[in-house]
Amino acid sequence: MLPIDLSGKRALVAGVADDNGFGWAIAKHLIQAGATVCVATWPPALNIFLNLLERGKLDASRRLADGSLLSFEKIYPLDAVFDALEDAPAELRENKRYKDVGDFSITGLADRVRSDFGEGSVDILVHSLANGPEVKKALIDTSRAGYLAAVSASAYSLVSMVRAFGPLMRRGGAVASLTYMASERAIPGYGGGMSSAKAALESDTRVLAFEAGRRYGIRVNTVSAGPYASRAASAIGIIDDMVTYCEGNAPLTERLEATEVGAATAFLCSPLASGITGATIYVDKGIHAMGMAVDGGTVPARS
């Protein structure tokens, strides 16, 4: 056997607000591998998430292979469009969903982790964050504000998090994020600057792999996941069509499962992947390899 062993390692997964998305699946796989996991949640979703956990509504999804229920070491608030609390407008800080959670910025999150666990206390950082307020608009119709908001929330937030958490991470640690094939191929309907944000995320992954590797001795990779009908992805508006298209045209026609992305990310963050950095790893049933649609039909095998 060649197990993924993350015993004694601490992970922070940013972008977990329910049990339906890639962030939850990644956190669960890291725990299955032996890591302790903290999560960071968008403040407007934080109380709902905590209530679901406390009322046992997520217990089925929390079930681990040994029958026990996963638990998170800490659950923090995070709005990753703000590097520091003073960057958030006063009206947002006074909003009822924000005012009682403390410092919800990226720097605030790093300071909380440092206060709770000390320096050199993080081994794995997962960026499962993306938002484009105008994602349903064609790129040509996207406003400057909408475009920059998509890049800020979905790409620059990774840069900011690596800067804030690099000093907290042990050498040999790993950073992983989530991207999508729209970074390199035109996906009609995936608009609002999100394709540009994903392209920036992949480019930044390569540069951060060099800079954070030399400065902190950590690895930085991104996972290009295929379309998956999570609650968050419903904001795209065409997610069901995207999933159906992949079923009909990918080399492997089964629908992508979040657990497959979770397993691949756990591998990338483990010592088994110690030689991998600056990479975009596709977990998409092979759809990225296709250059021609097959219209949902079956292509006969040829000898």
Q: How confident is the model over 240-295, as pLDDT tens digits?
A: 888 888 899 999 999 999 999 999 999 999 999 999 999 999 999 999 999 888 86
Question: For the domain with range 10-285, which CATH number is right: 3.30.110.70, 3.40.50.720, 3.30.565.10, 3.40.50.300?
Answer: 3.40.50.720
Q: What is the pLDDT of residues 56-106, one digit of tens each?
A: 999 999 999 999 999 999 999 999 999 999 999 999 999 999 999 999 999
The one catalytic residue in 76, 98, 156, 180 is: 180
Q: How far apart are the first and last CA of the chain?
A: 35
- Please give the sequence-ordered ranges of beta strands (E in DSSP) within the chain, or none if there are none: 10-14, 36-41, 75-77, 122-127, 169-179, 219-225, 280-283
Domain boundaries, the chain: 10-285
pLDDT attached to residue 303 = 46
Give the separation between CA 87 and CA 223, rounded to whole angstroms.
Answer: 29
The one catalytic residue in 190, 228, 245, 282 is: 190
What predicted TM-score, i.e. pTM, was given to this entire model? 0.94
pLDDT attached to residue 3 = 87
- Whether 147 is catalytic: no
pLDDT band of 238, cuts 50, 70, 90: confident
- Whether 282 is catalytic: no
Neighbouring residues of 71: CB distance < 8 A, sequence distance ≥ 6: 62
Q: What percent of the chain has pLDDT over 90?
A: 87
Centre a 10 Å sphere on the Cβ of residue 140 and count the other Cβ atoms it contains: 6
